Amino acid sequence: MRRFIVLIIILCVVVPVDCYAMSAKSYILIDAENGRVLYAQNENEKLPMASTTKIMTALVAIENSNPDDTVTVSNNAANTEGSSMYLKAGDKISMRELLYGLMLASGNDAAVAIAEHISGNVESFAVKMTERAKETGALDTSFKNPNGLDADGHYTTAKDLALITQEALKNPLFAEIVQTKSINLSGTTYTNHNKLLSKYEGITGVKTGFTKRCGRCLVSSCERSGFSLIAVTLNDPDDWNDHIYLYDKAFAEYKYHQIISNGQNAGIITTIDGNPLNLIYKGVVGAYLNESEIRRVSVKNNMPDSLSLPVKRGERAGSAYVSVDGVSLGGCEIVFGESREISEKRLKDFIWDTLQMWLSAF
């Protein structure tokens, strides 16, 4: 028995076992650079998403208004239930401050004020949100309001929410707002509900959410050494720890690998006179990959079937695309590695052939 116990201890030390159990009903972690799914479970299940809805609200607002716009708060907006930035009917407030109140204080009142300012009413704005979601590839998402309060037909998936967030983070103002821990505007201090901003190194956003129907929902983003990630958990009682676990796992398992270097040999192409011509890659392509993915990387060179002369060194010859398991990792140009003039014999043959074709026409 003693030997057995010693053996078990040795195995636990030498062969690490991942014993962590995710609490989320649905989750996903993607590479924010290319949308590649790194870890996921039930990521396509349609679920309500509470205040993580406001990621799309903010994106649509930024794209359809000016941050310096003045918004007049309606009685309807001021009396919206749930989390609030404490707007009052008749208040005049900038769109910029509404966006901070929306994403940091999770103001449901701010969401309605934004919707009414841009679309006239909540229902029309929700249609705009759904349409914008589809443009990001989020085809299994339907919005019925801008704040995430429980409503029939208001749902998304973890995968869709990751795609929406990936698109939103490309917007500089959105990215600036969601990584702000605290800000004072017009004498009011807004504090971000996202505890991960202070709890985990590299967190850059994004949004919390909760209703009794939805459970705890969390979307976060994190970047270390150029490796950018987006995590989504829906209906997750232990969301903070689950996100930390996903990030720890990804940063441990995925390392940067340069697949194509600038000036690297890209092969040869045969010219019309039958001679080989060197090609080189122009640009750098790399990605964060785990050990098994490195062996599955594919590099496809797209080149013309025939090549006419003359050509000059550095001129574009074609393109290269890099992928793993069918997911694009990027691409670059292929250029000629040397100049080549048309040979005198080939030039004479070309002139003679052209002359014969011209004469035959008569």
- 51, 74, 119, 220: the catalytic one is 51
228 as an active site residue: the answer is no
Cβ atoms of 285 and 304 within 8 Å: the answer is: no
- 26, 83, 106, 221: the catalytic one is 106
Q: What three-state secondary structure class fits 251?
A: helix
Cβ atoms of 234 and 25 within 8 Å: the answer is: yes
Nearest to 287 by CA among 38, 40, 31, 39: 31
298 as an active site residue: the answer is no
106 as an active site residue: the answer is yes
- 54, 128, 144, 207: the catalytic one is 54
Give CB contacts under 8 A, 24+ apart, made by 224-227.
Answer: 224/251, 225/256, 226/256, 227/31, 227/251, 227/254, 227/256, 227/288
Amino acid code (one letter) for 302 = N
C-alpha 207, offset from chain centre: 15
Catalytic residues: 51, 54, 106
